[in-house]
A and B are shown apart, each in its own frame.
Chain A
Amino acid sequence: MTNNTVLGGIDPEIADRLLTRRDALRQGASTSSKVAVGLALASVPVALAALAKDAFAADALPQNIVDVLNFALTLEYLESSFYNAAVGTSGLIPDSDLAVFHQIQKHENEHVAFLEGVLGAAAVPKPSFDFTAGGMFADVFGNYETFKAVSQAFEDTGVRAYKGQAANLISQPDILTAALQIHSVEARHAAEVRRLRGLDGWINAKIGNLPAAVNAAVYGPGNPPADFPAEDNIVQAGINLMSLTHYGVDPLSAAFDEPLDKATVLAIAGPFIKS
């Protein structure tokens, strides 16, 4: 599989559908989605429940916030569908590791329900997925090592994706806080999966032990690179961290995770999204 395929990105029409709520509005809120919203609302925190109610009733959230949340929801659909399929595949995950992936599966499904609850009728529909990414990971549900590699790619990319959107949520403190709360859960997931693969839980330089092209995309720079550096970055706020301690690149880069822009995240996720 070439770099092109990995970075080739997502079909513009699919991206448009994922990132706007036009389809959802055109289709209107079905009864089932209203029920889903109601169920989700039962468990969201008070502040967000109020927001969600407004969003459901009157599109109270600004469009740019809705777009960020739908982007997040798309990634959570990807992750939740991935783990639901994997946990449901007999013989894939060894018994010794099942507790870990059950917990991750639970959280990703909770994130979907939570974001659907906040977005209400503005939530994008769930896409259909190809977790082999067009054959790049042909044995993703037949080979535990392949499954863990894809899992790590999703989790580490998820951390970068949420981080990349934080600044866009600064005007909505409650939603920002919730996004941060999801962000750190994704980071816990990423650390655990990395450890299951024999890596450190944090990202030393760009070490991920993923197929080269995927590794380069998941841990590489976004656009523009000045705002979204690669994970081996050791300059923060204009300060070269090497000037502060005698440490090398591994701990200096691992001490800070880097954000990723939406387009670059979708380019990584694109091969997994069918429609």
Chain B
Amino acid sequence: MSESASSTSTPLVVNRPLTAASRRDFLRALGVGSAVVLMPSMFAACSSDATGITRGSNAAVTLDLSTDVGVLNYAYALEQLEAAFYEAALKNIISGCSATELHALLQIGQHEIVHREFLKAALGSSAIPALQVDFSSIDLTKRDSVLQAAKTFEDTGVAAYNGAGRLLHSAAYLVLAGKIVSVEARHAATIRDLLNPKSMDFAGDDVIDANGLDRALAPSAVLPLVAPFIVTPISA
């Protein structure tokens, strides 16, 4: 990628098979593992193991979606899920992944972590706790299953933000959500293009309707979709 040279954030240039050393670089760039993390508390609440199960709060969470704080916490829950997925996946040797694909997964994972940490900081004391996630149903060691899961998470994220925009009362928060959702859409298109290059799938007819509209799902439709991956009970 022509952008790698200008990147200040991903010191590694991924043009070789992943070795143990380069894998450590990946983890460092993602901010997981033992490397440089300026906020040690960032991952302390959700240390992960090889099974992909993250230990976080297991106390039930109730979102009041009639308030903007509730809607932002809904977004925070989804970003926690997405970020945790990429953290868990990139801790494995993902067999079959090309360097280009790993680089894309790494960058997407970074974006999701930024979203999560931003929402956590913006919500402050109103933030819901770290969620306990469970990716044991996904084979995080194989390229196809990781990319398929990433596609599902990204498409669901797009539909969730599109459906939640109307719940926000504050124009400023609406714009903030808008700033995030288009990035989720870029992720979705990218993952879909990795799975089926240069096809119509980046914006396939399975997600875009006959009016050229992407999906918009209400929280009541999204929460059951993500429930299999979140141990912490969430209701809204």
Contacts and interface: CB of A to CB of B under 8 A. Distances in A.
A139 interface: no
A239 B182 contact: no
B38 A204 contact: no
A245 B117 contact: yes
Contact of A185 (B110, B114, B212): B212
Contacts, number: 238
Contacts of B117: 241, 244-245
Given A200-B3, A245-B38, A256 B179 contact: yes
B8 interface: yes
B40 to A, nearest CB: 11
A180 B181 contact: yes
B92 interface: no
Given A178-B213, A189-B203, A237-B176, A204 B183 contact: no
B175 interface: yes
- Residue from A108, A173, A177 whose CB has the most chain B CB atoms within 10 Å: A177
A67 interface: no
Contacts of A26: none
A254 B165 contact: no
Interface string A186-216: 1111111001101111101101010000000
B9 A248 contact: yes
Contacts of B111: 202, 251, 254-255
A193 B36 CA distance: 34
Contacts of A192: 189, 193, 202-203
A236 interface: yes
B3 A184 contact: no
Interface string A159-192: 1000100110010011011101111111111111
Interface in B90-128: 104, 107, 110-111, 113-115, 117-118, 121-122
B122 A106 contact: no
- Secondary structure type dominating chain B contacts: helix
B200 A100 contact: yes
A42 to B, nearest CB: 10
Nearest to B211: A114
A166 B8 contact: no
Contacts of B228: none
Interface stretch (B19-27, B136-144, B166-174): B166-174
A181 B213 contact: yes
A97 B197 CA distance: 9
Contacts of A205: 6
Interface stretch (B49-57, B156-164, B219-227): B156-164
A110 B210 CA distance: 7
A247 B175 CA distance: 23
A9 interface: no
Contacts of A163: 175, 178-179, 182
Interface of A: 43-45, 96-97, 99-100, 102-104, 106-111, 113-114, 159, 163, 166-167, 170, 173-174, 176-178, 180-192, 195-196, 198-202, 204-205, 207, 209, 236-237, 239, 241, 244-252, 254-259
7 contacts: A99-B198, A102-B200, A167-B171, A187-B181, A201-B187, A241-B118, A255-B115
